[in-house]
Amino acid sequence: MNKYIGQIKTSWSLALHNKLSRENLIWGTITLAFLAVFTYYFFDYIENRAGGVVMNDWILQMLPARNVSGLIVFFELSVIILFIIRAATNPAMVITFIIAYIFILATRSITIGITQLRPPVGLIELKDPIAGLIYRSKLSNRDLFYSGHTSLLFLFYLCSRKKADRYYMLFAAIAVGVLLLIQHVHYTVDVVCAPFFAYGCFWLSKKIPHYSPANTKGNV
């Protein structure tokens, strides 16, 4: 444990003494906070807006709706905890995740606003305490295209480095996508497209100049 704590202190000390790293963390955190507040109110707005389309999803029609909230939250929490443990000693992972997640929040707001979908037939409300922090006291059922849960878990997979972690996170992302369909929380297209959007956001994040622990000299 002492060795792990020492690694955390050393890695973050190097990162915070690096100009590029500091800039990434400052503007990334500020932008992420702004988008989080915007999303907080935007999802409340879309939940109460009139109109919208109910899609004819033949895959959902074949799946009897079941409440699998517990399994979804389990996979979500396990991936988040695992990522936090690994990223605690790797500031570059944190920076990459923050920037990519900014793109995910921005693109989801755009696609949700454009598509204006209504909830699938047979939807069983997802009991997710983590998502509840964003959706105020109730969860939104109209934040559909594309799936936030699936894209988030896939982003964790993309940002991770250890092979065993990546295998588990990829499995968890696929499992959660399937479970969301079983609970009829999303349409099939919401889940299928989510990894592609997540990869696109991850790809964009890598185009932004990044901090590298191996290149810290002369950049303080």
Q: What are the residue boundaries of the structural domains of the chain, listed by start?
A: 2-207
Measured distance CA(136)–CA(134) in Å, rounded: 6
Measured distance CA(144)–CA(146) in Å, rounded: 5
Question: What pLDDT is recorded for position 133?
Answer: 61
Query: CA angle 103-109-112, nearest 5°?
Result: 130
In the predicted structure, residue 48 carries a pLDDT above the cut 60: yes
Question: What pLDDT is recorded for position 49?
Answer: 84
Q: What is the mean pLDDT of the chain?
A: 89
**Phi, psi angles (nearest 5°) of residue 49:** -80, 155
Q: Is 143 helix (H, G, I), strand (E, B) or coil?
A: coil
**Are the CB atoms for 190 and 144 separated by under 8 Å?**
yes
Measured distance CA(183)–CA(185) in Å, rounded: 5
pLDDT digits (tens, 9 = 90+) for 185-215: 999 999 999 999 999 999 999 998 877 665 4
The model's pTM: 0.90
Measured distance CA(49)–CA(14) in Å, rounded: 48
Measured distance CA(68)–CA(58) in Å, rounded: 20
pLDDT digits (tens, 9 = 90+) for 130-169: 776 655 545 678 889 999 999 999 999 999 999 999 999 9
